[in-house]
Amino acid sequence: MSERVIPLIDYRIASLAARLPAQPVGATGLLVDTLGRPLNDLRNSVTDRCNFRCSYCMPKEVFDKDYPYLPHSSLLSFEEITRLASQFVAHGVRKIRLTGGEPLLRKNLEVLVAQLAALRTLDGAPLDLTLTTNGSLLQRKARALKDAGLQRVTVSLDGLDDAVFRSMNDVDFPVAEVLKGIDAAQAAGLQSIKVNMVVKRGTNDHEILPMARHFKGTGVTLRFIEYMDVGATNGWRMNEVMPSAEVVQRISAELPLVQLEPSAPGETAQRWGYANGGGEIGVISSVTQAFCGDCNRARLSTEGKLYLCLFASQGHDLRALLRGGASDADLASAIGHIWQGRSDRYSELRASLPAEAGGGARRVEMSYIGG
């Protein structure tokens, strides 16, 4: 029998109560945290399950058949997600990304998409509604998602070499099926399709150039993500991180790149355009160049806990308020109060923290709160 790591603290249980502040916080769209950062972007995890076992996210040895996934009754219903989302929108959220686990494993996800697509920002505009997926079910679902009002999609793909990809997803899933999913998304009319590649030095860095060549000129934006020390199970080591600067250098040596202006404040990716045309790539330097200074993202877990940082060890339990009969104004007030107290900036502090994860606390898994 293989040895399993038994978590000493289950971060899903050790949550913070979301309290109603004595002084109600109205939803004015002008909310800022202690560092002056607004709340514009909500990442919503709709399941903690996945059909892949990427070693950097859900290593097989931990996420095996005995892993205590959340029971269905713990998950927020679509109505609960939409009700909370509308309060986030009232505070200034303009963009919602559905994630997981693998979001397309959540049954009838298009029903949730339709509900969220009906929300309007404070100035009456539709939300920027998108989804991150491993692409395995996209071929089947792209059309229904688009028809329900999804605007964009990001597909994760860590290489074009079939053997490399099968080994990275660790369930022997072929590249060809993900590529068909991307084609289906394009054919369905989903806009600004992005492909995310997590680069692990020594594992798939030789796939950087083949990926760049493949997606150049296709209208798909390829983005390279530095391998991050999220969660507590992936055995992260700094020497497996390939700095984005090196990725850019490698591509530029064959396909010259020029740096482009950011397209939106708080954007995580640095943009680079092909000097001779053919679109752009992005690099997300979460490890080597922290971007906490304008981090405007909140994360809502599958069971309704609000996390203020990808590297947080505890979330604020909004589900308890929701199921305890809180009014919309109460929910907005609780969310506002929590955001007003936010001071998280883990990536900026990483180098100065003790080597143990999160300065000793067990951090939440990426598959639980989404990327």
Amino acid at 364: V
Which residues 122-151 are close enough to bind ligand SAM by CB under 6 A? 132-134
CB of 310 within 8 A of CB of 365?
A: no
CB of 82 within 8 A of CB of 117?
A: no
Burial of 72 (0-12, 13-18, 19+ CB in 10 A): exposed
- Check residue 236 for interaction with ligand SF4 (CB under 6 A): no
130, 134, 139, 301: which one binds ligand SF4 (CB under 6 A): 134
CB nearer to ligand SAM: give 336 or 371: 371
CB of 370 within 8 A of CB of 45?
A: yes
- Check residue 156 for interaction with ligand SAM (CB under 6 A): yes
Amino acid at 41: D
Tell me how far apart the alpha carbons of residues 207 and 343 are, in angstroms, rounded to a whole number. Answer: 37
20, 70, 255, 292: which one binds ligand SF4 (CB under 6 A): 292
Q: What is the largest CA-CA distance in the chain?
A: 60
CB nearer to ligand SAM: give 122 or 137: 137
* Least CB distance to ligand SF4 at residue 194 (A): 14
Amino acid at 168: M
CB nearer to ligand SAM: give 301 or 333: 301
- Check residue 99 for interaction with ligand SAM (CB under 6 A): yes
CB of 238 within 8 A of CB of 226?
A: no
CB nearer to ligand SF4: give 236 or 291: 291
- Check residue 346 for interaction with ligand SAM (CB under 6 A): no
* Least CB distance to ligand SAM at residue 242 (A): 11
Tell me which residue of 371, 361, 336 sits closest to 7, measured CA to CA. 361
* Least CB distance to ligand SAM at residue 302 (A): 11
- Check residue 50 for interaction with ligand SF4 (CB under 6 A): yes
- Check residue 346 for interaction with ligand SF4 (CB under 6 A): yes
Out of ligand SAM, ligand SF4, none, which partner does residue 344 contact, by CB within 5 to 8 A per kind? ligand SF4
Burial of 369 (0-12, 13-18, 19+ CB in 10 A): buried
Out of ligand SAM, ligand SF4, none, which partner does residue 227 contact, by CB within 5 to 8 A per kind? ligand SAM
SS3 271: strand
# of chain residues touching ligand SF4 (CB under 6 A) = 23
- Check residue 298 for interaction with ligand SF4 (CB under 6 A): no
SS3 259: strand
Query: DSSP string covering 201-224, please?
Result: TTTTGGGHHHHHHHHTTTTPEEEE
Using the contact rule CB under 6 A, the part of the chain among 60-68, 162-170, 209-217, 225-233 near ligand SAM is 225-233
Using the contact rule CB under 6 A, the part of the chain among 10-18, 84-92, 208-216, 307-315 near ligand SF4 is 307-315
Tell me how far apart the alpha carbons of residues 350 and 208 are, in angstroms, rounded to a whole number. Answer: 26
Out of ligand SF4, ligand SAM, none, which partner does residue 216 contact, by CB within 5 to 8 A per kind? none
x-marked contacts with ligand SAM along 183-202 as a string, rule CB under 6 A: -------------x-x----
Tell me how far apart the alpha carbons of residues 320 and 314 are, in angstroms, rounded to a whole number. Answer: 15
| Interaction site with ligand SF4 (CB under 6 A) | 50, 52-54, 57-58, 100-102, 134, 156, 291-292, 295, 297, 309-311, 344-347, 367
